[in-house]
Amino acid sequence: MRRICVCAGVALMVIPAIELSAAVSKTTEYHQLGTQLGADKVLNIVLPDGVFLSGFVKDQSGKPVVQASVGAALTDNIVPTLGGGTDATGKFSIPVQPGTYDIYVTPPTSASVTPSQFSRLLPTNLDSVSVAGDTSAGTITMPSGSILSGKVLPPSGSMSLFGGVLWTFPTSGGISGYHAAQFGSDVATSAQYAIALSPGSYKAVLIPIQVFSSTFQPLPAGYTTSKFTISGDKTLNLKLKKGYKLSGTVRDSAGRELDGIIWIFQKTAQFVVDVYVGFGFAADGGYETYIPNGSYTVVFVPLMDTSYKGRGASTTMDLVMPAGAKTLDVVADDGIVLSGKVTDAKKKIAKEAGVLLRDTTDNPWGANQVVYAALASTNSKGQYRVAVPSGTYDIMSYPNTGASKPLASTAAGLMMEARRRIQQMKAASARHARDSR
């Protein structure tokens, strides 16, 4: 089963599933696949009413699994649907368009990463569920595995705070079969992780996003990798590589500052194909991150709203990172503009709806399998505007479900989380400027 990875600021999940609010609406995702874009285009999107795909999630003893995350994707085209969580009885219900779906279930977050208290439930899936009208998928049983746990160690010195992601992949499976570790929820346990895995051989990729020293200064830490085998509970501490500062400006061809996401991929001999090893947010036309020396491909994806009137599009650059700081300024390529309005089936304006474009061509860095070519949200009038390189795209749109905490693993959730973090960075910068006066 081929799966599509979607990278997020602190998470990368295989099947995006947008969290639903308590009152479940029939409004579901929109998709238009294989759309050729060679010139500016207006596309008004109508989010359709769907039918409900429901079922129950239980553990191997038959006990309901509460607050498991459930998502689905079209079996043939891997278009992610909205998603939801299980209730006190283990029941889920998500709106989908008629079609054939693979259902993906992720365990609920554990209260602690202490191995003795960590859940042993494993992600599971149910393939090829045919949906024509309201459909029950029956009961999905989540198996149990062994616990891999440990600590993240700095390249040198001491570390007070770690923020990042740890991905595990079956050695023979590549992206398919990924699993994400959970880290501690407070400062004291932020560098401790745990993850439940089935027996087998694995690769691990640990990617730092924010790392601070004991004096709360940024630590120059880069990604690290590991190989290991699981046959029972296991402890594995992971030491980050020494990273070097990569920074620069991000603007369009007219000099306008851009916000967006910087993805960094190994250029050759990828440890896990199409998995990023570096990450950064661009805010107010600038970014900063740390990576080890080596050869990389850098991909900038802008985050757009209707106030931006330029043509800055996703842009790919080669990077040879020295054993020292480097400046890499990004000038976004000019693209073509796709714009329009998003409404629901009742012609009601869809505010803060997500609009995403997925490149269907084979790019050398795996854009179609790893990151979206464009991310945007609608304004108060339901309008959106994105710029992309000419090409063929899958166009998708998702309603704002009103969830108080959108999943970082979602397509639209990715965009909202990235925009929230960029806004936080701007606010922090403004506070620093005021305090410096």
Alpha-carbon distance of 378 to 398, in angstroms, equals 10
Alpha-carbon distance of 184 to 110, in angstroms, equals 10
Within 8 A by CB and 6+ apart from 432, the residues are none
Q: At residue 410, what are phi and psi to the nearest 5 degrees? A: -95, 160
Whether the predicted pLDDT of 10 surpasses 70: no
Q: Which amino acid is at 137?
A: A
Q: Are 314 and 233 in contact (CB under 8 A)?
A: no
Q: What is the pLDDT of residue 171?
A: 87
**Secondary structure class of 423 (helix, strand, coil):** helix
Q: What is the pLDDT of residue 306?
A: 86
Q: What is the pLDDT of residue 178?
A: 78
Q: pLDDT tens across 319-328, in order?
A: 999 999 999 9
Instruction: Lowest mean pLDDT of 1-10, 49-58, 347-356, name the range.
Output: 1-10
Please give the angle made by the CA atoms of 116, 120 and 121, to the nearest 5 degrees.
Answer: 155
Q: What is the mean pLDDT of residues 60-82?
A: 90
Question: DSSP code of 176?
Answer: T
At 400, the pLDDT band (50, 70, 90 cuts) reads: confident
Alpha-carbon distance of 168 to 183, in angstroms, equals 14
Q: pLDDT tens across 111-161, in order?
A: 999 999 999 999 999 999 999 999 999 999 999 999 999 999 999 989 999
Class (C level, CATH) for 146-242 = mainly beta
Q: What is the pLDDT of residue 207?
A: 93
Q: What is the pLDDT of residue 173?
A: 61
Average pLDDT, the chain: 84
Whether the predicted pLDDT of 280 surpasses 60: yes
Domain ranges of the chain: 146-242
Whether the predicted pLDDT of 40 surpasses 50: yes
Whether the predicted pLDDT of 368 surpasses 80: no
Q: What is the pLDDT of residue 367?
A: 37
Whether the predicted pLDDT of 22 surpasses 80: no
Q: Are strands 374-377 and 294-304 parallel, antiparallel or unpaired?
A: parallel
Q: What is the mean pLDDT of residues 240-268?
A: 93
The pTM score is: 0.84
